[in-house]
Amino acid sequence: MEEFQFCETPKCTNRPLTQSTYCWLHLQEKAAYLKRLIDSKDLKQAYLAKIEIDDLHLNRRDLSCAILNGARMTGAKLSDVNFKQATLCHVILDGAALRHCDFTSAIGDGASFAAATGNGLKLPWSQFKYANFTRADFVSCDLTEAVLTGSLLLRARFEGAKMLGIFLDHADLEEADLNGADLSYAVLGGARLKGANLADTQLKRANLLGADLRGACLLNSSMVKALPIRADLRGADLQGANLQGVLFLEADLRDAVFDGANLRSANFERALIKGASFNGADIRNTNLKNAITD
Ligand SMILES: [Zn+2]
């Protein structure tokens, strides 16, 4: 068993960095240390809390199970880096270019990926609560069953992303682009999706309790048995959507457009539908009897 050690600076209780006897704060020759670090092949389980590296370029490196809490890697260019089960709390990767990186089961609460880019990133079963993905471009990424509770995804691009069972409760996705994403079974309670692009998305059985979907585009989406109870869908575009069995209980649907939508067995009890349009919608077995029209 590895003996727990402290940084060599008297009275410092920080854990020393991998390949050093000092913590980042007390490390001398930081540039030389970072150069050695980048050249080293094995970084698995490395302890690298709070390191600061500008313009980091890393290619094909194993950082699985590494601890990088509070590390600053703004603008990093990382390709084929393995972050599986890494701890990345409060890591700063703003503006980073992430190619084929794997964050499977990583934990990064409070991390920041603002304006970062990465096509086809793997993030399944990861946890990034209260993280910042503002304007991130993570098209086609895999976020299956990831936990992004309370995160910011303003104007982020997650087109075609796999988000089955994702937790985005109380997340802010205003004007995010989720075109064609799979959000089946997603937890979106209290999420802000104002003006978001959800065209052609899968939202089967998604929990949208109290979500703000004002002006959102849900064109041709599939929301079978979804739960937008008490959600705000004012002015939302639901044309051609499959809304079979959706519970719109007490939802605000004023000026929403349901033209050509499949509303079979949907329930509009106590929903506000003033100004909503239902041209050509399939309303067989739809419960509209207690909907509020004035
Ligand atoms: Zn120290």
pLDDT band at 257 (very low <50, low <70, confident <90, very high): very high
Q: Residues of the chain with pLDDT > 70: what percent?
A: 99
Beta partners for 42? 62
* Whole-number pLDDT of residue 41: 81
How many angstroms does the Cα of residue 6 sit away from the middle of ligand 1? 8
How many angstroms does the Cα of residue 228 sit away from the middle of ligand 1? 51
Beta partners for 9? none
Average pLDDT, the chain: 96
* Whole-number pLDDT of residue 263: 98
Q: How far apart are CA 88 and CA 289, in angstroms?
A: 51
Mean pLDDT of 185-189: 98
Tell me: pLDDT of 251 over 70: yes
Q: How far apart are CA 236 and CA 249, in angstroms?
A: 16
pLDDT, tens only, 12-57? 999 999 999 999 999 999 999 999 999 988 899 999 999 999 889 9
Tell me: pLDDT of 116 over 60: yes
Q: Which residue has the higher pLDDT, 3 or 142?
A: 142
Q: How far apart are CA 128 and CA 143, in angstroms?
A: 10
How many angstroms does the Cα of residue 165 sit away from the middle of ligand 1? 41
- Coil, strand, or helix at residue 127? strand
Between the CA of residue 1 and those of 4, 14, 22, 44, 186, what are the distances in Å?
A: 9, 19, 21, 17, 41
Backbone angles phi, psi at 144, to 5 degrees: -55, 125
How many angstroms does the Cα of residue 83 sit away from the middle of ligand 1? 25
Q: How far apart are CA 178 and CA 207, in angstroms?
A: 16
Mean pLDDT of 135-143: 97
pLDDT band at 270 (very low <50, low <70, confident <90, very high): very high
For residue 15, the 8-state DSSP code is P
* Whole-number pLDDT of residue 4: 72
How many angstroms does the Cα of residue 5 sit away from the middle of ligand 1? 11
Question: How many alpha carbons lie under 13 Å from residue 32 in its C-beta half-sphere?
Answer: 4
pLDDT band at 69 (very low <50, low <70, confident <90, very high): very high
Q: Residues of the chain with pLDDT > 90: what percent?
A: 95
How many angstroms does the Cα of residue 17 sit away from the middle of ligand 1? 9
How many angstroms does the Cα of residue 15 sit away from the middle of ligand 1? 7
How many angstroms does the Cα of residue 52 sit away from the middle of ligand 1? 15
- Coil, strand, or helix at residue 79? strand
How many angstroms does the Cα of residue 92 sit away from the middle of ligand 1? 21
- Coil, strand, or helix at residue 232? strand
Tell me: pLDDT of 1 over 80: no
Mean pLDDT of 287-293: 95
pLDDT, tens only, 199-246? 999 999 999 999 999 999 999 999 999 999 999 999 999 999 999 999
* Whole-number pLDDT of residue 134: 98
Residues with CB under 5 A from ligand 1 (ion): 7, 9, 12, 14, 23, 26
Tell me: pLDDT of 3 over 80: no
Between the CA of residue 187 and those of 40, 41, 47, what are the distances in Å?
A: 41, 40, 33
How many angstroms does the Cα of residue 14 sit away from the middle of ligand 1? 5
Tell me: pLDDT of 2 over 60: no
Report CA torsion sign: 39, 40, 42, 44.
negative
Q: Taking the model in full, what pTM does it have?
A: 0.95
